[in-house]
Structure 1
Amino acid sequence: MTEVTVVGGALVRDGRLLAAQRAHPAEIAGKWELPGGRVEPGESDADALRREFAEELDVEVTVGGRIGQDVPLSDRKVLRIFQVRLVDGRRPRALQHRALRWVSAHELADVDWLPADRVLLPDLRMLLDG
């Protein structure tokens, strides 16, 4: 029984995927993830992604289709990934992460991803190969 959904956004620019390096909590700081966060009560997945990208990266996005399947994070929590696109030409800024980087399809496996994001690498590679 899932009670919490965490959403992430796959933002692609010039054939590269945006990855964000966690700043906290300590046990996962330094690992990389797709930007996003928890869906709040009464909020849609798309609304949560738009809010999280604004808060974490200072950019406005539109939300597209799903990428891959839900990834269980625990008995009551799942990760759900969507493709997102920038609304304007602004560049994402790391407001809550240590760093941002753009990753090509051949670099995906070399990134120290969080385990849940790593599960989606085949789907992300297909997105980048396009």
Structure 2
Amino acid sequence: MKEVTRIAAIIIQNKSLLLVKGADKYKEYWTPGGKVKEGESDLDCLQRELSEEINVKVVSSKFFGEYVSPSAYDAGVIYRSRAYLAEIEGKIVPGNEIKGFVWMSRKEFDSNKYPLIPATRDRLVPDLIKKGLF
């Protein structure tokens, strides 16, 4: 199995969680972020990915947790995702890799309004709820 390190941004505003949806082959939403480049720190990756994906700047971040799970799209790939609570500035404008975004409320999560990748649906969001953040 190939392991890939991914940095994820947990962005919560007005009690809603920011989720993005990738290009055409992707059906589910996930937290913004992406793969760490060689020699890149987590925070440098977080800033680069949020700039590329949604055209915003990270103004603060705090480590939240690490999640290991199989890729929802690539057989034989395991993602090691390090998630950071992030504060951002700037207007969200999806980049080329992103088809769209939503601000998901707790009610929308509970009613399964948006399809989420399993790691977000089954682990990340429940952890946010347990810690009283969502």
Band the TM-score falls in, shorter-chain normalisation? 0.7 to 0.9
Partner residue of 2:55 out of 48, 52, 58: 58
Instruction: Give the alignment partner of residue 45 of structure 1, picking from 42, 47, 51.
Output: 42
Q: Counterpart of 1:120 in 2: which secondary structure?
A: helix
Deviation for aligned residue 1:76? 5.3
TM normalised by structure 1 equals: 0.81
Q: 2:101 maps to which residue? A: 100
| Pair 77,21 (structure 1): closer, same or farther in 2 beyond 3 Å | closer
1:2/1:62 CA distance change after superposition, 3 Å: farther
Q: 1:76 and 1:98, CA in 2 relative to 1: closer, same or farther beyond 3 A?
A: closer
Calculate the aligned-residue CA RMSD, in Å.
2.2
What does the per-residue CA deviation read over 1:85-115, in whole Å, with 9 as the maximum and x for residues that have no partner? 11x3x22111121111111122224121111
Unaligned runs of 5+ in 1: none
Residues 22 and 98, structure 2, Cα contact 8 Å, conserved in 1 = yes
In structure 2, the gaps of 5 or more residues are 71-75
Following superposition, the deviation at residue 117 of structure 1 comes to: 1.6
Larger deviation, residues 112-121 vs 47-56: 112-121
Q: Are 1:114 and 2:117 counterparts?
A: yes
